A and B are shown apart, each in its own frame.
Chain A
Amino acid sequence: EAGVAQSPRYKIIEKRQSVAFWCNPISGHATLYWYQQILGQGPKLLIQFQNNGVVDDSQLPKDRFSAERLKGVDSTLKIQPAKLEDSAVYLCASRPGTGATEAFFGQGTRLTVV
């Protein structure tokens, strides 16, 4: 079974530029998460989708971050404009539903803002 795919693996941009990350979840998984993991910290939930609807985006900095999940499958996370403090690993995870199931993680995208 294919896992959660993310691209790119690495990205370096200058501050005030924009960047986008892509995630392809495991086939059939209705729930999709985007997490931000700053060096030395645990993953922080940015947004949770159930199919193509948003369940929780309370910690998403909506003035610069946006995310969408068209057709309830692939998802993109965008940052515009980026700040130095956005340097982190962005992890995508998917889960069959929101019940007694585990989440599967992609390898993440490491973003460096200079």
Chain B
Amino acid sequence: AQSVTQPDIHITVSEGASLELRCNYSYGATPYLFWYVQSPGQGLQLLLKYFSGDTLVQGIKGFEAEFKRSQSSFNLRKPSVHWSDAAEYFCAVGAGYGNKLVFGAGTILRVKS
């Protein structure tokens, strides 16, 4: 069965600094990969997705992610973080029978001014 690991529970960065959130997955083949963001009291909003093709994908709000098959990773990056980016970020994998969508435990991003 597929699984997702987000090694960092909390990350704090200064406004304007670059950001990288880590995501590793476990699955035998290439899965569909997603990053979602959740603000307090809200549902999940899709930032970006990877299905196939170019391994560097661009998303909304200036985010990008790179799929690395050899490392089973799909890390999320942003060159310059804004205070409004403070939220919880979830990596998810769609794979297996029925393309079940499995989430990691999330990374809480704090932005300091």
The interface of chain A, by Cβ under 8 A from chain B, is: 4, 31, 33, 35, 41-45, 48, 50, 55-56, 91, 93, 95, 98-100, 102-108
Contact = CB atoms under 8 A, between A and B. Distances in A.
A4 B42 CA distance: 13
B103 A102 contact: no
Given A42-B106, A48-B100, 7 more contacts: A33-B101, A41-B106, A43-B103, A55-B97, A56-B100, A91-B44, A105-B45
Interface residues of B, number: 25
B26 to A, nearest CB: 15
Contacts of A107: 41-43
A106 B49 CA distance: 19
Nearest to B91: A42
B106 A45 contact: no
A3 to B, nearest CB: 8
Given A100-B52, A105-B44, A56 B98 contact: yes
B98 A48 contact: yes
B42 A45 contact: no
Interface in B23-62: 32, 34, 36, 41-46, 49, 51-52
B36 to A, nearest CB: 8
A98 B52 CA distance: 15
